[in-house]
Amino acid sequence: MHIIERFDSLSKIKRQRICESRNYVNDIFLNRAERVEPFSQEVEAAIKNNLDLQSAGFYHDLTSLYRKMSAYLNVDTQKFLVTCGADESIKNIFNIFTNKGDLVCFPSPTYGMYHVYSNIYGVQKLTLNYNEDFKIDKQELYDNLHRIKVLFLPNPNHIEDCFSIEEIKNICKEANGLVVVDETYYGFGCKTVVPLIDECDNLLVIRSFSKTFGLPSLRVGATIGQKDLIQSLDAQRVAYEVSSVCQQIAEFFLDNMQITNDYAKKCTEGRKLVIDTLKGKFKVNGESGYLVTIKMRDQQLAENVAGKLKKSRIHVGQFDENIRITIGPEQYMQNFLYQFKLAVSCLT
């Protein structure tokens, strides 16, 4: 793209920073897919004891992080690239594998950066929508597979309609372009497709520490695929993929996986409580991911319920006629359910 044309296209994109002064002590934040329960004082102390801040004065070696990530992913170090969160993975894929006018496909609603990068790189967007039963229009995907240059499949997505491993394998075989499975929300029930990279040469998988490890501000992720694809991505990586401080914290959690596994177990128990309590009264979606979506009667009611919950210091997501929450341990979900029922009863 000519530099002037690129400048003109970028100048039309308006983005806002999310500026929030948040009370982490008294409020419960279920609106941004963040960790609901704070880390224990013991974990905080262990992280601080593990940090070598003197290392910040030197350029660091990421070999140990790659080695530990390799063991965690069960993938050779030449088959993945550490990134600054899932964002960098997505941006790099757009930058290397798309040209202006190419067709890029992803479900909607989903992570907002798919739309942002589509606009930046001037690609055509094919968005796969969900019906009233939270099911994605898979037929539209299959009908257009031959035209799609890059297919992004968050699995699970914000609204959950998981693709099976066999489905993704078949999609890779039928697709003429690149298939990217975004597993940012992996770790709460949906199966990984990482083992498929050895038989699918057009498959990339994105992972992140944001949800699975509950560390969204750490900005550590990975792109996984066959060596040739990773070499293409590696060619444009920055000098140091993550900072030394982020590296040390990531390595601490990789060395202490029980912290992550215990929290995931508590979250799945909390998710089950929410779904079992609301099922039959509301249409509820989200049995394998990090989010639960609750369909209300209409958009006005959803907005009013979200507003009433906020006054009770519980912050939830709301889009169209839906309330969306991040899952957390049972005690937090019990608090949400109590206030949610109060809000609904007052407004209906």
Asked whether residue 278 falls in the same domain as residue 249, the answer is: no
Residues with Cβ within 8 Å of 225's Cβ and at least 6 positions away in sequence, in order, are: 79, 80, 197, 203, 204, 205
Asked whether residue 163 falls in the same domain as residue 133, the answer is: yes
pLDDT, tens digit, 9 for 90 and up, residues 242-258 = 999 999 999 999 999 99
pLDDT tens, per residue, the chain with 348 residues: 555 565 666 777 777 776 666 777 789 999 999 999 999 999 999 999 999 988 888 889 999 999 999 999 999 999 999 999 999 999 999 999 999 999 999 998 888 899 999 999 999 999 998 888 888 888 999 999 999 999 999 988 877 778 899 999 999 999 999 999 999 999 898 899 999 999 999 999 999 999 999 999 999 999 999 999 999 999 988 888 999 999 999 999 999 999 999 999 999 999 999 999 999 999 999 988 899 999 999 999 999 999 999 999 999 999 999 999 999 999 999 999 999 999 999 887
pLDDT, tens digit, 9 for 90 and up, residues 72-101 = 999 999 999 999 999 999 999 999 999 999
Residues with Cβ within 8 Å of 228's Cβ and at least 6 positions away in sequence, in order, are: 201
- Domain end point (choices 213, 241, 256): 256
Torsion angle of the four alpha carbons 186, 310, 300, 106, in this order, in degrees rounded to the nearest 10: -20
As a whole number of angstroms, the distance between CA 70 and CA 68 comes to 5
Structure-block tokens of residue 287: 């049995």
Asked whether residue 111 falls in the same domain as residue 247, the answer is: yes
* Total count of domains within the chain: 2
For residue 101, the domain's CATH number is 3.40.640.10
Structural domain for 19, as ranges: 3-41+258-347
Asked whether residue 115 falls in the same domain as residue 163, the answer is: yes
Evaluate whether residue 46 is within a structural domain: no
In three-state secondary structure terms, 59 is coil
CA 221 to each of CA 85, 136, 160: distance values in angstroms, whole numbers, following the listed order: 4, 26, 22
Asked whether residue 231 falls in the same domain as residue 184, the answer is: yes
Q: Given this model, what pLDDT does residue 251 score?
A: 98
